[in-house]
Chain A
């Protein structure tokens, strides 16, 4: 959806006002205001929260508050959140959220506290809310309410083996057609490796497929109806599933980020289209450090429209101490903490941190980090946060996208049948209010 297209660092009027009004309140700001209170944080146990919680003691020392961390894997975290929120419980004060996935749904359910006023009011001088990625703030704004503050910036990028490309006489691909041509050549040139791998697991497909769809020029919704059967969307479905079927690993329909990273890291894949967040995992052990190139996913007929999302930190609408929770959110998304997280490989959602000399020095230490940051810069400037359908039932919509792709990978349906079946189910979801 064009309205959700990100144009990072283009200031939103609301936040420009916020930035101005911050000055007035910053002088009165006292980090110790809620000393003695306990804030409960529901965390997704991923690299972002792991990096953040390294500095938990710093928060407690700075504020005199106790931070109680309730940490689960992503799916279990949402399960816990649904239970807590449906019970109108105040057990959770702050939680991690993915606006691109559940933003519409949680906002419509009234689970997010409105951070618009908080980000204007009790703000430390050094916080600088205007310095956060405006595009990600916009993606976290629903019905005019700011629902979360960005913790990181991420999106799928293409990891490719420079040594295999060189051996096979290939250049880095510039277009989707060149990706397919490279996969074809690698298949005959080096039969020991999987030419191309990306997500095939049903609920995970939308993350990478959306990038392909947007690059080719397709869209999820046209005139209020699901449009997977439009010419461009069909081309995207066909290309994505063909790449995985003809050049992917056996069993790719069960592949998500864990399997993809493991396959690429072990040296058994020539190209992997996977999250920028996986850099640390892929480089673990150092085997891929010197033979990997990184790119935003190559252009299609509509150019490059990378998928760009980020985890956000939200305050629960049922919290009995939203102001204390906001202090935690503010600390967690402050320039100082985000710089420390960036040095652990968590891409910062602040241009000021991305340009920080210390961070730049870390980036410059390895060519692969430079390429990673260059790809992230493209994601930040050209990205779209549309992953799946921009509707309340977004998580369910991802199932049907994944089903269509799997039907094609497994050759269980024709292209026309797969997209028509998906469109029928998705139209019913779109019609739900």
Chain B
């Protein structure tokens, strides 16, 4: 077969393969693109309380600027995000180190350590709602048994964000630990052997070797958790519905209420697209950081 004929056959095969895979590709792209395009379109519409629709231009976005609830929601979202992420990364790394070094830990105990994140968030929310109930819950019973004053937990405007962050961290720290554990297991042993020969202490080894080498893995975990944390919804919806007052009203909760309780789908779409932009921004920032710490 001449070269020209072989090239023509290859081109034909490529064309056939493209044609065969086209329906699946079009369907997948459509499934991803349609909701996004539709939400962008909704963001330019105005829906009255009675569902009547009209073109709003950028009115929904300009309304964001003067909406006190939006800025409050943004603050709550960021506060919850930062607090939860720090807790989950710190305790996730610690738990991973424990699991890595405690090689004789029975499998059942290891499974128990990582089980919370396998629980549906709604179940976790309901469980903590009962535990943290100021009157009937076990948390205050334990505090009082120890001679400590009871807390209002989720009912306190001051403590609601730390409490929600604790619940989320209880659930998702094991997930971070699993990722970090994978990273720990892939670290080169030669570096540790060299450190041991040089007489480095355990702390110095962790500070100068383990942590720098683990950073790309930790940043990956941070990216994965950032996407979830900035879209924080389920646990708050179950436990506080954004309260007390508006103390835990994240952007996602606020957008949900505007859309599905007050039926202002246009403004809710603008809110959610803004939140999506924030999530993208955080992911991009972490991606750059990952590039900087890669080894």
Contact = CB atoms under 8 A, between A and B. Distances in A.
Interface of A: 75, 78-79, 82, 85-86, 105, 108-111, 194, 201-203, 249-254, 259, 262-263, 266, 268, 392-393, 395-396, 403, 406-407, 410, 412, 432-433
A253 B155 contact: yes
B243 interface: yes
Interface in B122-155: 133-136, 150, 152-155
B48 interface: yes
Contact of A392 (B50, B136, B155): B50
A108 B154 contact: no
B110 to A, nearest CB: 35
A82 B245 contact: no
B241 A249 contact: no
A410 B245 contact: yes
B262 interface: yes
A115 to B, nearest CB: 20
Contact of A406 (B51, B134, B150, B244): B244
B243 A249 contact: no
The 10 closest A-B pairs by CB, nearest first: A251-B155, A250-B134, A251-B134, A108-B50, A253-B244, A109-B51, A249-B135, A79-B260, A109-B50, A392-B49
B170 interface: no
23 contacts: A78-B261, A79-B260, A86-B51, A86-B265, A105-B49, A108-B50, A109-B50, A110-B50, A110-B51, A201-B241, A201-B243, A202-B241, A250-B135, A251-B133, A251-B135, A252-B155, A254-B155, A263-B136, A266-B136, A392-B49, A392-B50, A393-B262, A412-B157
Contacts of B51: 85-86, 109-111
Given A251-B135, A254-B240, A407 B245 contact: yes
Contact of A202 (B49, B50, B154, B243): B243
A410 B263 contact: no
Interface residues of B, number: 29
A75 B233 CA distance: 15
A251 B156 CA distance: 7
A240 to B, nearest CB: 16
Contacts, number: 88
A263 B240 CA distance: 18
Given A82-B260, A109-B50, A392-B49, A251 B157 contact: no
Given A82-B260, A202-B242, A393-B49, 12 more contacts: A109-B263, A202-B241, A203-B261, A251-B152, A253-B244, A254-B154, A254-B243, A259-B133, A263-B136, A406-B244, A410-B245, A412-B245
Nearest to B237: A75
B221 to A, nearest CB: 32
B202 to A, nearest CB: 44
Interface of B: 48-52, 133-136, 150, 152-157, 239-246, 260-263, 265
Contacts of B152: 250-251
Contacts of B240: 254
Main secondary structure of the interface of A (DSSP, over half): helix
B136 A254 contact: no
A395 B259 CA distance: 12
B48 A433 contact: yes
B103 to A, nearest CB: 44
Contacts of B265: 86
B136 A268 contact: yes
Nearest to B264: A396
Given A105-B50, A410-B244, A249 B134 contact: yes
A250 B243 contact: no
Contacts of B52: 109
A263 to B, nearest CB: 6
A410 B134 contact: no
A110 B49 CA distance: 12
A361 to B, nearest CB: 36
Contacts of B156: 251
Contacts of A396: 49, 261-262
Nearest to A262: B136
Nearest to A86: B51
A110 B50 CA distance: 8
Nearest to A80: B260
